[in-house]
Structure 1
Amino acid sequence: MEASVIIPTYQSWDDLQNCLDCLAVQTIDPGLFEVIAVNNDPNDPVPASFRLPANARILTEAKPGSYAARNRGIAKAQADLLFFTDADCRPDPDYLENGLKIAKDNPEVGRFGGDVVLFPAGDDWTAPELYDSLWGLEQEKWIPKGRAVTANLIVRRSLIDRIGPFNDTVFSGGDMEWNDRATEAGEPILFAEKAKVGHPARTLHEHLLKARRIEGARLRRNARRGFVNYIPPIQKLIPSFKTLVRFLQNPDLSTRRAFDLWGVHYAIRVTKIAEVIRLLWFKRPDQRK
């Protein structure tokens, strides 16, 4: 067994089916890898019509959060090289072949960030989707900072044994926190450009959910600051004119499109303020969907 692919899933059986269908047509022999999908909602059973490849299995993790689900997959994985991706990702046919090759060519490296290519839901990009393509999963830009998103992260088990698994107390940002630990431990990271997965660009609803999850994770990380956390970032109510200028200066964007993207950016800013108030002032629980 050369590779274990670990995929958390939460109420997303259709997406997971598409992801597994992509993994079923990889260019390497299916006997060389296993696929472990981890259902993070025990009350949402596998549909009767679900097609599970022979080298795949589905586990269940009751503790809420994709990082808890990933840790469950790590504990049950058989290979030394772990490929993390998401249920809504679409791995290229040579995704595993290229991931295995870069790992073999660089035995001294313990982690690799594969390329994440965004695609729209329809023929044309909506403003939120285009915003995501400009500000979203820019894996190549994260790598020099020692980070990579779990939509396409390849890790040697020995590295996880050394620095520990993901922080399973957060709903978002756990991939960056884990990579920060690896970087602080002196572990290098390489960009696996040819190990590609496709990822749907986010809708506005998905952008706002992501913003809320990030704020929840930030507040937990900064819990020691006490009452300071209760002060909402009111300055975010002021639109970022620096961001507008950045959009207006983009030669690929019309003026109207630039203002549309600016509106998406502002909606995310306001959502972050609202989430601080909701979590801390009204003591509401974190939201996943």
Structure 2
Amino acid sequence: MEMDRPLFSVIIPHLNQSGELEACLASLDAQRLDRTCFEIIVVDNGSASPPHEVIARHSGVRLLSESQPGPGPARNTGAREASGEFLAFIDADCRAHPDWLLSAERAFRTSPDRTILGGDVRIWREDKAYTAIEAYEGVFAYRFKLYIEQHGFSGTGNLVVRRSDFDKVGPFAGIHVAEDMDWGRRALSTGLQFRYVPEMIVFHPARRSLQELCVKWDRQIQHYLNMAQEKPGWKLRWTARALAVLASPMIDFTKVIASDRIEGIAARSKAILVLVAIRAHRARKMLSLLRESKTVVWNREAGV
């Protein structure tokens, strides 16, 4: 590696989240890896007010812009301008553990070539008492170990890859698909492999309400539908999957009881109530989409 080339390029897509971006950049300022070893690139994706003031409060941060909507295109712009040997992707509303990049550096030293790293994502909590959404998402949101080890992809909110390997896979897709799943499948097809690194921790705030959680799932369900429609006979499989989602709390409540990611009877009771409510919403949404058509926009939806 050239001496003037950083080891990591941290790439952050941003859209109308200046407060969250401030916390994200502060967490990167607190990294235990020497600051000369990484650069930070924020890519604004059409914010009403670009985060110039936030960027100015943190030294050595570059602000770029990408007009094509979606976090995937924003990440691609950051990757094109990056100079690091490794690309480290994190979202603007996340906070990195102080050892995030140091853990990634150590993991690469013990991993074979052609390995992509994904880490743990935990719910960030300000207060001691769990809200119902925090309890639910503490168990069921951001299950990166499951994604990596069983489904063959890592979420892009905590993903680190060699620049050379990223170039082999190609850029992230746009908003019409779940870009992390799509990119992960393409990575596997090139012979790359994912490794889950539990010490590589990123924190994400829970949604503030059941409505926000429903909106998140509406967007994700549309992504799944876009992929399902590519195969013949998809409607029958889609209907069966919706009914399975509706019945799933009868099994998944045991995951709440056994989880070590939340504590206390009250928190587990809250998580089970949200589990039932959100699975009912998901099933209802899936069935309604059999007769509707929508397009997905990053952080919002627009009917067509």
When normalised by structure 2's length, the TM-score is 0.82
SS of structure 2 residue aligned to 1:251: helix
1:40-119 alignment to 2 at 5 Å?
40-46=45-51, 48=53, 51-119=56-124
Structure 2: give runs of 5+ residues left out of the alignment: 1-5, 259-264
Provide the C-alpha distance between the structure 1 equivalents of 2:84 and 2:12, rounded to a whole number of angstroms: 15
Q: CA 1:93–1:185 in structure 2 vs 1: closer, same or farther (change >3 Å)?
A: same
Could you tell me how far 1:5 is from its partner in structure 2? 0.3
Q: Is contact 1:211-1:272 (8 Å) kept?
A: no
| Amino acid corresponding to residue 296 of structure 2 in structure 1 | D
Partner of residue 227 from structure 2, selected from 212, 216, 221: 221
Q: CA 1:277–1:49 in structure 2 vs 1: closer, same or farther (change >3 Å)?
A: same
Partner of residue 173 from structure 2, selected from 167, 191, 198: 167
1:11-26 alignment to 2 at 5 Å?
11-26=16-31
1:1-289 alignment to 2 at 5 Å?
1-46=6-51, 48=53, 51-120=56-125, 122-145=127-150, 146-170=152-176, 173-203=178-208, 204-224=210-230, 233=239, 236=242, 240-247=246-253, 250-251=256-257, 257=270, 258-275=272-289, 277-278=291-292, 280=293, 284-287=294-297, 288-289=299-300
Could you tell me how far 1:35 is from its partner in structure 2? 0.6
SS of structure 2 residue aligned to 1:14: helix
| Identical aligned residues as a percent | 27
Q: CA 1:271–1:250 in structure 2 vs 1: closer, same or farther (change >3 Å)?
A: same
Say how many residue pairs are matched. Answer: 284
| Amino acid corresponding to residue 268 of structure 1 in structure 2 | R
| Amino acid corresponding to residue 214 of structure 1 in structure 2 | Q
Provide the C-alpha distance between the structure 1 equivalents of 2:138 and 2:124, rounded to a whole number of angstroms: 8
Higher mean displacement: 266-275 or 153-162:
266-275
SS of structure 1 residue aligned to 2:198: strand
Higher mean displacement: 107-116 or 221-230:
221-230
Per-residue CA deviations over 1:136-182 (Å, capped at 9, x if unaligned) read: 11112222132211111111111111121111243x62111111111
Provide the C-alpha distance between the structure 2 equivalents of 1:9 and 1:133, rounded to a whole number of angstroms: 24
Q: Is contact 1:31-1:55 (8 Å) kept?
A: no
Provide the C-alpha distance between the structure 1 equivalents of 2:274 and 2:218, rounded to a whole number of angstroms: 21
| Amino acid corresponding to residue 218 of structure 2 in structure 1 | R
Could you tell me how far 1:207 is from its partner in structure 2? 2.0
Could you tell me how far 1:8 is from its partner in structure 2? 0.7
Could you tell me how far 1:101 is from its partner in structure 2? 1.6
SS of structure 2 residue aligned to 1:240: helix
Provide the C-alpha distance between the structure 2 equivalents of 1:256 and 1:169, rounded to a whole number of angstroms: 35
Q: Is contact 1:128-1:261 (8 Å) kept?
A: no
Per-residue CA deviations over 1:231-289 (Å, capped at 9, x if unaligned) read: 984984797334234316753656954344212221233234445544x1xxx542423
Higher mean displacement: 29-38 or 97-106:
97-106
